[in-house]
Each structure stands twice: as C-alpha cells, then as structure tokens.
Amino acid sequence: MELFTPKEIVQELDKYIIGQAEAKKSVAVALRNRYRRSRLDDKTREEITPKNIIMKGPTGVGKTEIARRLAKLVKAPLVKVEATKFTEVGYVGRDVESMVRDLVEAAIRLVREERYEELKPRATQAAVDKLVKVIMPIRKELSPDTPEAQLAESISEELVDGKLDEMQIEIEVAEPQRPIQMMQNGQGAEINLGDIFKQMGGNKPKKKRKLYVKDAMRMLVLEESDKLIDSDSVNAEALRRAEQEGIIFIDEIDKIAGAGVGSSRGGPDVSREGVQRDILPIVEGCTVSTKYGSIRTDFILFIAAGAFHVSEVKDLIPELQGRFPVVVTLDSLTKEDFVRILTEPSNALLKMYTALLKVDGVELKFTKEAIERIAEMASFENTNSENIGARRLHSLIEKLLTEVSYEAHGEKVDLVVDKAYVDSHLANEYMDLDLKRYII
C-alpha cells in the first residue's frame, strides 16, 4: 500500500495547494492509519474502522483539489462522486450503491495496470515472435541464401529498436472491444461484448487488417497481455484492495443536508434526507454486490466535502454525522494566499499562462507589484461581491490577458505586466476598488 508518511503526503499536497494545513494533515493521517491497520493481525484489524472525514469550507478554497491530488498520489482505489447525483431508491437518478461499484471498477483498473506492467516483457516477446513470422517471408525473398534463424534474429532486433515502425504489414488482430452501456432503472450495468464472446466459448472475433508495424506491435502486446493475465486473480485482488484500501470522496455533501435556510419546506428535503438514509448503510458498513463479486464497505475510507454555507454539518441526520468523526474546516483565502496561489504551485496560474503564450512567441513577465495588485483585487471582489475563492483568480487572469491572448500570433514579443498594466486592463475592478476606499 502507499508508503508515504503523513509528512510526505502533506509535502506532496503542498506542491499544489496553498495553506489548508489542517485538512491536509487529517487526510494524511487517515491514509497512514490505513497502512498502520494493514500491518496488524487479522483479528485486531477487523476491529478498526476508518475515521471518516468531513471537509467544510467556502467555495473555491481547495476541497475538491485536495481529493484530486490525493487520488494521483496514493496507489489506492479512489472514486470521487457528487452527492447531488444520487436519488432515493426508486427515483430516477443514480442509486447510492453505484459509488461502491465504481470503486471496484477503479480497483480493477488499478490492479490490471499493475499486472500489465509486470507482464509487459513477456507480452512484448510474444508480440515480437508473431511479427517476426509475418515479416519473415518478405525478408526471405530479399535474401534467399541467409539462414532463417539468422533472419529471425535480425528482424526481432530491428523490431525492438523500432527500426521497422513505419513498415506496413497485414496481420490478424482481435477486433477492438467496445463496452456498451446498458441502463436499467438508472443503474448503469456495463456489459462487455468481449466477455460475452468469451462466455459463449468462442474467441474474440479476429479480422485481417493492414497496419503499421508500430501499431500492430501495440495491439499485439495488448492482445498477448490479455491472454496472459489471470482475470480471476485480478478480480479477487481488486475486490480486496477496494474493500481494505478504497477511498470514496463524496463531494457536495452539504447539498443533501437537511432544511437549509431559504429552501422550501417539504418537497426536496424529503428526498434529500432519503439520500442520506440510503448512504448511511454504505458508510456504516454493509455488503454490496458487484459484477465481480460482493464487497464489504466497513473499511472503505469516506471523505466528504461541502461548502456548508446554507446548511450546516449538524443538519445532516445524526446517524450520518456520527460516522464522520473528523470535521476539518478549510480557511477562506486571503490576499497573501492569492499571491502564493498565483505563483507557487507547480501548476500555478501565472506559470500556465506564461507557458501557453510562449508558444506564440510572447515572453510574459509579471512584476511583484502586479501580482500583489491582482491578489488584492481578487480579495476585494471576494469580500464585496460573491466569495468564490481561488476561482476569482481564474476570471481575473483571463480578463487581464484577453488582449494579448487575442493578439499573439507567433511574432516575438516581450511583455512585462506591471501594476499599471493590471490597473488599466482590469479597469472596472480597479474603479470599484478605489471608489469603495474613497467612500470608506
């Protein structure tokens, strides 16, 4: 399982998310606890269930981003679902058990990828052998006196070195599989045509096709891996991983929390509570059957997130609250945070725009004062109109650079964005800012 210590997890998250130390720490600890648990003897392990987490905090401060980065970081099956997508049993919409089925699918993909990686050398060798057979007759014609073994060796060398990539050959390959989605009462059940053919005892349909060697190689490696892979063991391992290490991130949980201020009484709330009641057994621990077998949900880690500005955590039904013992609050972002968000993360907005425009010859530079100014405007706008957190920066930067983005066409230009540039290009925001100051 994941080998990161809590500190390392936080460090990794720090590369992308500014601040929010408390939330980062909680998820890091929860993750590490799963690892600790996995090291215990069976009996003790059965007794320890995860400490589920609720992340609450205003819009656009990094809740979803933390989950997204976490997913990339850990080698555990993780799915992210939106609470609003679910409806009570019997209504149109997704049933809550689908989140567990999605988790199993994620685990299958994870384990499959690992197995493919392990099998790659063998599958590649098998693919090379097949291609050698296809190319052999052509080579034989060219040099009839060379012994076959020698020809085979040189063909296989050239194949491995990619020297034959652009050669065209005709070869029989399996038809690409296309899973088709069947919807039954809103429950997505996926049926794979390939599976059906396998069950019918036949092989996947094959077809002769003209292909470049490099594409044929790719397809054959896949085909060979499919032959070598042991689906039963993949399924069993995936079920185990989903059950023991799975993480389900439920976003927008506040949207299904009880009667919020201003929401109409009756109608929608009834079904919201219904969704909570449906989710409850899954969080409490139950058995869900999937097409790969059944899975217990007792040890899945649930992380829920919501802005909770209309409703509160205590508006959730008590039983559900009880299953989320850790509640962490994410902070509103300040001007100083915005300066850092603009510049520090590996995917910082200013870095991204600079890279994008560089493609068209524009060398963008931002002065320190300009960055401070943008942050100040973002912070001002958030306090004085709607608080949309870091999303405000996206709209400001987009506006700031509209003109240059439109004009850039490949000619080399140096552009220094200084405070004056910001002020003139974000004139409306600027006027508001100074006006408000003047009034105050």
Q: How far is the CB of 387 from Mg ion (least distance, A)?
A: 14
Whole-number Å distance between alpha carbons of 257 and 268: 11
Q: From 6-14, 60-68, 97-105, 420-428, give the range in contact with Mg ion by CB under 5 A.
A: 60-68
DSSP string, 103-171: HHHHHHHHHHHHHHHHHHHHHHHHHHHHHHHHHHHHHHHH-TTS-HHHHHHHHHHHHHTTTTTT-EEEE
Applying CB under 6 A, does 17 fall inside the site for ligand ATP? yes
Strand pairing of 206-212 and 168-174? antiparallel
Whole-number Å distance between alpha carbons of 276 and 280: 6
By CB under 6 A, the residues from 364 to 393 that bind ligand ATP are 389-391
DSSP string, 353-408: HHHHHHTTTEEEEE-HHHHHHHHHHHHHHHHHS---TTHHHHHHHHHHTHHHHHH-
Q: Which amino acid is at 425?
A: H
Whole-number Å distance between alpha carbons of 164 and 159: 6
By CB under 6 A, the residues from 332 to 351 that bind ligand ATP are 341, 345
* Total number of residues that touch Mg ion (CB under 5 A): 2
**Smaller CB separation from ligand ATP, 245 or 337:** 337
Q: From 64-72, 215-223, 226-234, 400-408, give the range in contact with Mg ion by CB under 5 A.
A: 64-72
Q: From 58-66, 260-268, 292-300, 430-438, give the range in contact with Mg ion by CB under 5 A.
A: 58-66
**Smaller CB separation from Mg ion, 194 or 306:** 306
Applying CB under 5 A, does 64 fall inside the site for Mg ion? yes
**Smaller CB separation from Mg ion, 341 or 371:** 341
**3-class SS of residue 194:** helix
**Smaller CB separation from ligand ATP, 282 or 393:** 393
Whole-number Å distance between alpha carbons of 122 and 23: 44
Q: How far is the CB of 248 from ligand ATP (least distance, A)?
A: 16
Whole-number Å distance between alpha carbons of 262 and 47: 42
Q: From 61-69, 158-166, 201-209, 410-418, give the range in contact with Mg ion by CB under 5 A.
A: 61-69
By CB under 6 A, the residues from 59 to 78 that bind ligand ATP are 59-65
61 binds, among Mg ion, ligand ATP, none (CB under 5 to 8 A by kind): ligand ATP
**Smaller CB separation from ligand ATP, 154 or 329:** 329
Helix (H) or strand (E) segment spanning residue 207:
strand 206-212
Do residues 400 and 393 touch, judged by C-beta distance below 8 A? no
389 binds, among Mg ion, ligand ATP, none (CB under 5 to 8 A by kind): ligand ATP
Applying CB under 6 A, does 158 fall inside the site for ligand ATP? no
Do residues 339 and 372 touch, judged by C-beta distance below 8 A? yes
By CB under 6 A, the residues from 174 to 213 that bind ligand ATP are none
Q: From 53-61, 273-281, 282-290, 354-362, give the range in contact with ligand ATP by CB under 6 A.
A: 53-61
Do residues 86 and 275 touch, judged by C-beta distance below 8 A? yes
Do residues 296 and 245 touch, judged by C-beta distance below 8 A? no
CA proximity to 282, closest of 79, 126, 119, 98: 98
321 binds, among Mg ion, ligand ATP, none (CB under 5 to 8 A by kind): none
Instruction: Name the phi and psi angles at 215, rounded to 5.
Output: -75, -40
Applying CB under 6 A, does 23 fall inside the site for ligand ATP? no
**Smaller CB separation from ligand ATP, 245 or 252:** 252
Residue with tokens 């599989």: 177
Applying CB under 6 A, does 83 fall inside the site for ligand ATP? no
Applying CB under 6 A, does 313 fall inside the site for ligand ATP? no
**Smaller CB separation from ligand ATP, 181 or 347:** 347
Q: x/- contact string, 257-296, with ligand ATP (CB under 6 A)?
A: ----------------------------------------
Q: How far is the CB of 63 from Mg ion (least distance, A)?
A: 5
Whole-number Å distance between alpha carbons of 380 and 384: 6
By CB under 6 A, the residues from 209 to 228 that bind ligand ATP are none
**Token pair of 409 as six digits:** 């066409």
Interacting residues toward Mg ion by CB under 5 A:
63-64
Interacting residues toward ligand ATP by CB under 6 A:
17-20, 59-65, 307, 341, 345, 389-391
